Amino acid sequence: MASIGDGSERQRIAQQRLRVLAGHLRRLGAEERPGVAAQECRAGAGTTEPDDKPPCSVPKRRQDIMKWNGWGYADSKFFFNKKGQGEFTGKRYRLSGLILPSLKDWFEGTFGANLQHKSPAVPSLNTSAVAPPSLNEAFVEELKSTGIPFSHDTEDRVFRAHGHCLHEIFSLRDGRVGRCPDMVVWPNCHNDVVKIVELACKHSVCLIPYGGGTSVSSALECPPEETRSIVSLDTSQMNRILWIDEKNLTAHVEAGIIGQDLERLLNESGYCTGHEPDSMEFSSLGGWVATRASGMKKNIYGNIEDLVVHIKMVTPRGVIEKSCQGPRMSTGPDIHHFILGSEGTLGVVTEVTLKIRPIPEYQKYGSVVFPNFQQGVACLREVAKQRCAPASIRLMDNEQFQFGHALKPQVSSIFTSFLDGLKKFYITKFKGFDPHHLCVATLLFEGDREKVLQHEKLVYDIAAKFGGLAAGEDNGQRGYMLTFVIAYLRDLGMEYYVIGESFETSVPWDRVLDLCRNVKERIVRECKEKGVQFPPLSTCRVTQTYDAGACVYFYFAFNYRGLSDPVHVYEQVEHAAREEILANGGSLSHHHGVGKLRKEWMQETISSVGLGMLKSVKDYLDPNNIFGNRNLL
């Protein structure tokens, strides 16, 4: 479907490109499209809302369009209708309004869940359950005089008190809210941030930068032991592209811009960054930098650390940035690498110069079926060896492949039925493929039409050597869709006693298989030992390839009926799974970061000397721990 054609005028490509993006993501809203805003922030202008600001897909009042106790847009969610069929509401996504007849069977079969057994969330946020803000009056007074907008409205605070870890969402659904930021500030530009940081230092206020709120490492959680007033610094209003440099193919962007807006705005000029983390609808540029994010298409565009050319960050010590935009420098350790992955502990990233690329002319999905996971991994390894990985290549295990089927819509012109196709195939081609072992790789190619087609052939030829058979574009596309709706699916599960989460790692090639098997088995075993009554879903995919290894992504979910403290059990199992990952040569994290969730393993991960290095940087930049979210160290 994704053919764009040969036309070369930028505008037309851009239009097409938008449709492509909308294709695997959502339907575009009717809102007007903002342009590039190439002007300086009017420092101290005293207006709360510069009138030349492009509208942002996520408003300041997040509660207006987003769920307070779940993932994403309030109007989009899965539910089981009266007939017991799965359905996805809203109008934003390709699945929106469609009926998913196989979802129920898969759901009940996989988890031993039952649509009769519901575990509904409390209907709305009980604001009286939230502790009143403890404000630092002097700070508030001085802040007022700067004209930077702020709020201590309860909903505003609760929205910025969490990310999307299971325990965070589970508590919210239960109506429990822990320590919240005492107020939220919305700087409009770099200079606003400088002022806020100065005031915070002056009045001893704790600052926690907030980007898109998609953290899955407890990074946004307020440390309960914090006694100072906590201010959430919401970067969402710093969302302009300040300039585009077509000669050097770079764009200078404010760090609060969220992924979908950044792509949309660049697309209008015929460009893209190509950085597409699965959370790109909501996560922000600053968040990516702060967590060392990774995008689906990193094989062409690189991860965030490959994309940044220049970073500006405001710290309690002052502003840190490099003096030029040279593409590579030998000037001692790269200071960008203190910033990348700093997780809001050192300061606020305010502006970033990023590499941009012309929008690719042509895009094509694909998929390959392998007789088993082992063969699939061998194929991906070969692809990596030959350095011919497509924009994205992901290998799903058998469970995930079946999971994908559960999302097959009833009537669909876009989705041909994989299973039906498979049955047909099965007789003719797949003979000897065991449906309980086969697994599927999904592919996304991008570039010149000609080259894409050549590239495609090359990859399919390699796949054939490992027993892989091409299985069509639709299956590929559906695989990618799955990763965009998975967070919505978790909300559905939680309505029926099913909780789950994903986690990831990176690991050398030779250990991929062993790690996948051992971690999945460890999960199953730990669940049993911890008294989980039903076998869990424990599945993985190899989601990125590198020269020397791969990124592996796990989904883990189980039915918690009969458990008195399901979240605790969940956390114990996840902990054990992480131990298993580390024991099998996997890393602490490939892209989700450390936050507070994985902090306990930092020392063994980077050695105590390494930890000391990071601490001394923290001590220098932020001796009073103004950026006191206590992540990482």
Partner 1 sequence: MASKALYSHRDPVLKKRDDFEDILEERRNSSDLRYAFKCYTPVLYRGLTPCKAATLKSMVLQSEQLLHVINQVSAESGESTDVVKDEAAAILEEMAHRLQLRTIRFFAYTLSKAFKALYRSVCVNEEGIQRLQQAMQEHPVVLLPSHRSYMDFLMMSYILYTYDLSLPVIAAGMDFLGMKFVGEMLRMSGAFFIRRSFGGDQLYWAVFSEYVKTMLRKGYAPIEFFLEGTRSRTCKSLTPKLGLLNIVMEPFFKGEVFDVNLVPVSMSYERVLEESLYARELLGVPKPKESTSGLLKARKILSEDYGSMHVYFSPPVSVRSLAQGRINRSQFNLTPRHVAQKPSEETQAFVNDVAYRIVRLQQENMVVKPWVLVATLLLQSVEGMELTELMEQTSWLRDLARMFGAFLDWPDHTPCSMVVSSSISLHRNLACVSGSRISLVVEGPQGPETPEEALFNRAVSVLSCASYRNQVLHVFLRPALLAMALSNANSSRKEDIYSCFDFLRNVFSDEFILSPGASVQDFDEACHLLVKCGAVELLHQDVVMAESGRTVLSFLTLLLEPFLQGYQVVCRYLREEATENLTEKQFIPAVRSFAVKLHLSGSLKCYEVLSSDLQKNALNALIRLNVVRRVRTNEQVLFKVNKAAVNSVEDTLGGRIPTQKSILARL
Ligand X SMILES: Cc1cc2nc3c(=O)[nH]c(=O)nc-3n(C[C@H](O)[C@H](O)[C@H](O)COP(=O)(O)OP(=O)(O)OC[C@H]3O[C@@H](n4cnc5c(N)ncnc54)[C@H](O)[C@@H]3O)c2cc1C
CA angle 66, 68, 70 (to 5 degrees): 85
Q: Segment 79-118, which members bind ligand X (CB under 6 A)?
A: none
220 binds ligand X (CB under 6 A): yes
Residue 578 engages partner 1 in binding (rule: CB under 8 A)? no
Cβ–Cβ < 8 Å for 149, 48? yes
Strand-pair partners of 443: 366, 393
Q: Does 181 bind ligand X (CB under 6 A)?
A: no
CA–CA separation, 1 vs 24, rounded Å?
A: 11
Please provide the DSSP assignment of 338-401 as one string.
HHTT-TTSS-EEEEEEEE-EEPPSEEEEEEEEESSHHHHHHHHHHHHHTT---SEEEEE-HHHH
Q: Which of 317, 511, 530, 599 binds partner 1 (CB under 8 A)?
A: 511
Q: Is 553 a catalytic residue?
A: yes
**Rule CB under 8 A: is residue 529 a binding residue for partner 1?**
no
517 is a contact residue toward partner 1 (CB under 8 A): yes
Q: Would you count residue 535 as binding partner 1 (CB under 8 A)?
A: no
Distance CA 13, CA 581 (A): 43
Strand partners, 310: 353
For 220-245, b/e burial (b = at least 16 CB within 10 A) is bbbeeebebbbbbbbbbbbbbbbebe
The site partner of 255 among ligand X, partner 1, none (C-beta below 5 to 8 Å per kind) is ligand X
* 347 assigned binding-site residue: yes
Of 450 and 514, CB closest to partner 1: 514
Is 211 a binding residue for ligand X by CB under 6 A? The answer is yes
**First-to-last C-alpha distance (Å) of the chain:** 47
CA separation for the pair 65, 39 (Å, rounded) = 29
Binding marks (x or -) toward ligand X, 274..293, rule CB under 6 A? Answer: ---xxx---xx-xxx-xx-x
Check 362, 365, 553, 560 and give the catalytic one.
Answer: 553
Find the radius of gyration of the CA atoms of the chain. Answer: 24
Q: Quote the DSSP letter at residue 128.
A: G
Decide if residue 631 touches ligand X (CB under 6 A).
yes
219 binds, among ligand X, partner 1, none (CB under 5 to 8 A by kind): ligand X
CA dist., res. 468 & res. 470, Å (int): 7
Can you tell me which residue has the tokens 């008294």? 531
Tokens of 627: 């950026």
213 assigned binding-site residue: yes
215 binds, among partner 1, ligand X, none (CB under 5 to 8 A by kind): ligand X
Q: Is 345 annotated as a binding residue?
A: yes
Q: Which does 209 bind (CB under 5 to 8 A by kind): partner 1, ligand X, none?
A: ligand X
Q: In whole angstroms, how close is the CB of 598 to partner 1 at the nearest point?
A: 15
Only segment of 112-120, 363-371, 423-431, 515-523 that touches partner 1 (CB under 8 A): 515-523
Query: Binding to ligand X (CB under 6 A): which residues in 479-498?
Result: 487
Rule CB under 6 A: is residue 472 a binding residue for ligand X?
A: no
Q: Report how far residue 430's alpha carbon sits from residue 442's, in angstroms, rounded to the nearest whole number.
A: 17
CB of 264 to ligand X, least distance (A): 17
Give the residue numbers of the binding site for substrate. 490
- Contacts with ligand X by CB under 6 A lie at 163-164, 208-216, 219-220, 235, 255, 277-279, 283-284, 286-288, 290-291, 293-294, 343-344, 348-349, 487, 591-593, 629, 631
Known catalytic residues are 553
- Contacts with partner 1 by CB under 8 A lie at 510-511, 514-515, 517-518, 521-522, 582-585, 604
